[in-house]
């Protein structure tokens, strides 16, 4: 389960931003999760609750997630398509010469402070 490591990294990042901006308390953190990031949201939420409640800055803070769609580019025909629906094979030209453009990232989108 890599979700705990991800949560520790998020908490470290938010605490650093909190120090830099003199925040007293964070009420919520919004993450953008790529559709193929391999992060399991329920595991992430469980890890968040356990770890965030040990941080004075984040105690009780909510973790919100937004899914970013995965998009693949076909090198053969130059078209993009939804990765999850079609996988590695281009639905336009049947080429396997493709690569993921986006959808595997994990980004902190927003930190809400009160």
Domain membership of residue 22 as a residue range: 3-69+103-113
Residue range 32-73, pLDDT digits in tens: 999 999 999 999 999 999 999 999 999 999 999 999 999 999
Q: Which of 100, 46, 97 is nearest to 70 (CA)?
A: 100
Q: Indicate whether 1 pLDDT > 90.
A: no
Domain annotation covers residue 29: yes
pLDDT of the residue at 114: 84
Q: Do the domain assignments include residue 35? A: yes
- Domain assignment present for 91: no
83 lies in some domain: no
Considering its fold, how many domains does the chain have in total?
A: 1
Q: Domain holding 37: CATH number?
A: 3.30.2320.50
The answer to whether residues 65 and 30 touch, using CB atoms and an 8 Å cutoff, is: yes
Q: Is residue 95 included in any domain, yes or no?
A: no
Q: Is residue 41 part of a domain?
A: yes
* Joined tokens for residue 73: 């580019």
């Amino acid at each position: 389960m890599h979700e705990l490591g991800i949560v520790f990294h998020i908490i470290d990042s938010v605490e650093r931003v909190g120090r830099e901006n003199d925040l007293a308390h964070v009420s919520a953190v919004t993450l953008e999760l790529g559709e193929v990031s391999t992060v399991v949201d329920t595991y992430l939420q469980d890890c968040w609750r356990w770890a965030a409640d040990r941080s004075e800055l984040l105690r009780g803070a909510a973790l919100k997630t937004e899914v970013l769609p995965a998009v693949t580019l076909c090198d053969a025909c130059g078209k993009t398509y939804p990765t999850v629906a079609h996988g590695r094979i281009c639905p336009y030209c049947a080429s396997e010469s493709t690569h993921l453009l986006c959808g595997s990232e994990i980004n902190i989108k927003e930190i809400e402070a009160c």
